Structure 1
Amino acid sequence: MTQEEKVQKLTNSMANFVGYIGKKLPDDVIAKLEELGQKEDRPLPKVLYETMTRNQKLAVSLDRPSCQDTGVLQFWCKCGTGFPLINELEALLKDAVVKATFETPLRHNSVETFDEYNTKKNVGKGTPTVWWDIIPNSDQCEIYAYMAGGGCTLPGKAMVLMPGAGYEGVTEFVLDVMTSYGLNACPPLLVGVGVATSVETAALLSKKALMRPIGSHNENERAAYMEDLLEDAINKIGLGPQGMGGNYSVMGVNIENTARHPSAIGVAVNVGCWSHRRGHVIIDKDLNITCTTHSEVKL
């Protein structure tokens, strides 16, 4: 197979993958929504959870996106230096998004800032967003794909706390964001929290946290404990599904962190809505693809 043929093969596979995750939620999200629906004892939120489940079945059977806002595509590439298409990867991901836009189809969501025109291809300056983690001595590539819709993007917020604010300040920041903007993001939410030194490192970590499976925990036991505390606290706010009230407002809270400057705590929040459209694939050097998030996908 020539290099050009390899590029075309992976482009087609990623276009199919992008279209698929727009129509079918990850296995862990589906399971969590069903769990919350079974645990909920209030009539209205219970009906809403049942509606979400029905929405998912219709999206698959009618071959349509599960939400009309198919978002701006974002990719996180953990790519080995020996992966054969590392040089072509970012360009082919853009081509895959264009292909998926017309074949799925996806809503046109890439508007050139300041010029204020819609490209109608879901690509533009810096979109889709591609983040890179380069892995030495590896010939495989992991790709996380995420559809960042307008609703789940609205609560995004980052700041550096004053010295002395401590982890109580982190908690207050997260709950302030949830009480101020949580309704806009179509609960129940997956809440990603980044804790680092500066706003940009915290913000990137909070988005990375959304790629983690629901029910997973930070490897640090204190951070994992804080995840549970924040989940309980946000549930007690009572947002409920679609902000209509209920016992459960989140699918989980995922915290990602780095070491930080001793006098500052950068903190950020990003959220995924109930229709949390993300996917994860592992591609080996022969372009064989394994999907870890969707059990039935064929690429």
Structure 2
Amino acid sequence: MENVEKMTAVMASFVGYSGKILPDDVTAKLKELASKENAPLAKTIYETMFKNQELAKELNRPSCQDTGAIQFFVKCGAKFPLIGELEQILRESVLRATKEAPLRHNSVETFDEYNTGKNVGKDVPSIFWEIVPGSDKCEIDTYMAGGGCTLPGKAGVLMPGMGYEGVVKFVMDIMTSYGLNACPPLVVGVGVATSIDVASLLSKKALFRPLGKHNPNERAAKTEKLLEDGINKIGLGPQGMGGASSVLGVHIENSARHPSVIAVAVNTGCWSHRRANIVWNGDLSFTVTSHKDYKYE
């Protein structure tokens, strides 16, 4: 089917591209942090990061050897013409990107302990769905969940008496224990909900929010700022070697919760934050919002 092949080919190209070229807002934020840095080693590390990005583009190779486990967050209209074929399209796009980009083989079958060599396996790539009634559009966030930036991931359920101070303490405990393992400066995603599963999903979704945008709830936005200031004061700096800034941003996503519990979860993205966003229309034209220079050829 011609339309299936078109979408598959574009998604394979787009996934591969996202592993080589950082999103526009991430690049801009790294330049901003570098301009404010005074520590000699930190300044040198930022220079190395930018050189790494130049070479990734010049040599057409991934910007980090760990191209992660591929994840897709899909917000699909009920009238999108390829909704029934979409899971197979995304799976095939990962197979192609693995060969063409190329991507490192990061799919190991749990318990059987063998690498598939294809970046696909049982329920991998991960695909998370939202259906939008009445729409014929399909918005897809892609993400490369690397080992380092996944390592600090943690979730728990707090007693209600711990309050939102308990949420802040939970996040700070993770940052002071595992933050340097995730290749700072980090994007820190925090989910607050009733149950551990919902909080975890929200914390991952928080990583896709464009940098500089805050939670629409005034109190949540204030907590984002407090956490950002607090994590910066730890002094992790770029690559955990010390410096003025430790985060690219802190994003909180929340749902309503049961009055007896506060569930909290943390996910992090490394400095090479390889997330990307593409919006498909019903006629299979598309718009890329994360990378202004992306062109499908």
TM above 0.5, yes or no, is yes
Q: Quote the residue 1:159 is aligned against.
A: 156
Among 73, 89, 107, the alignment partner of 2:70 is 73
Q: How many residues align?
A: 296
**TM-score scaled to structure 1, two decimals?**
0.98
Q: Quote the residue 1:96 is aligned against.
A: 93
Q: Distance in 2 between matches of 1:287 and 1:56?
A: 31
Alignment of 1:107-126 (within 5 A): 107-126=104-123
**How high is the sequence identity, in percent, across the aligned residues?**
68
Q: Quote the residue 2:290 is aligned against.
A: 293
Output the aligned Cα RMSD: 0.5
- The residue type paired with residue 236 of structure 1 is K
Among 242, 246, 267, the alignment partner of 1:245 is 242
Q: Distance in 1 between matches of 2:248 and 2:79?
A: 37
Q: Report the secondary structure of 1:76's partner residue.
A: strand
Query: Post-superposition shift, 1:136?
Result: 0.2
Kindly provide the CA deviation profile for residues 199-247 of structure 1, in whole angstroms up to 9, marking residues without a partner as x.
Answer: 0000000000000001110010110111011000000000000000111
Alignment of 1:98-247 (within 5 A): 98-247=95-244
**TM-score scaled to structure 2, two decimals?**
0.99
Is 1:263 aligned to 2:250, yes or no? no
Query: Post-superposition shift, 1:82?
Result: 0.0
Q: Distance in 2 between matches of 1:53 and 1:252?
A: 19
Among 23, 27, 36, the alignment partner of 2:24 is 27
Q: Which runs of 4+ in 1 moved over 3 A?
A: none
Q: Report the secondary structure of 1:175's partner residue.
A: helix
Q: Report the secondary structure of 1:285's partner residue.
A: coil
Q: Distance in 2 between matches of 1:163 and 1:216?
A: 28
List runs of 5+ in structure 1 lacking aligned partners: none
Kindly provide the CA deviation profile for residues 233-279 of structure 1, in whole angstroms up to 9, marking residues without a partner as x.
Answer: 00000000000011100001000000000110000000000000000
Query: Post-superposition shift, 1:50?
Result: 1.1
Q: Distance in 2 between matches of 1:225 and 1:66?
A: 33
Q: Distance in 1 between matches of 2:47 and 2:178?
A: 24
Query: Post-superposition shift, 1:163?
Result: 2.4
Kindly provide the CA deviation profile for residues 80-112 of structure 1, in whole angstroms up to 9, marking residues without a partner as x.
Answer: 000000000011100000000000000000000
Kindly provide the CA deviation profile for residues 44-69 of structure 1, in whole angstroms up to 9, marking residues without a partner as x.
Answer: 10111111111111100110000000
Query: Post-superposition shift, 1:162?
Result: 1.4
Q: Report the secondary structure of 2:208's partner residue.
A: coil
Q: Quote the residue 1:46 is aligned against.
A: 43
Q: Distance in 2 between matches of 1:142 and 1:157?
A: 27
- The residue type paired with residue 10 of structure 1 is M
- The residue type paired with residue 156 of structure 1 is G
Q: Report the secondary structure of 2:14's partner residue.
A: helix
Q: Distance in 2 between matches of 1:11 and 1:65?
A: 20
Q: Distance in 2 between matches of 1:128 and 1:298?
A: 24
Q: Distance in 2 between matches of 1:274 and 1:29?
A: 8
Q: Distance in 1 between matches of 2:182 and 2:123?
A: 24
Q: Report the secondary structure of 1:267's partner residue.
A: strand
Q: Distance in 2 between matches of 1:33 and 1:50?
A: 10
- The residue type paired with residue 41 of structure 2 is L
List runs of 5+ in structure 2 lacking aligned partners: none
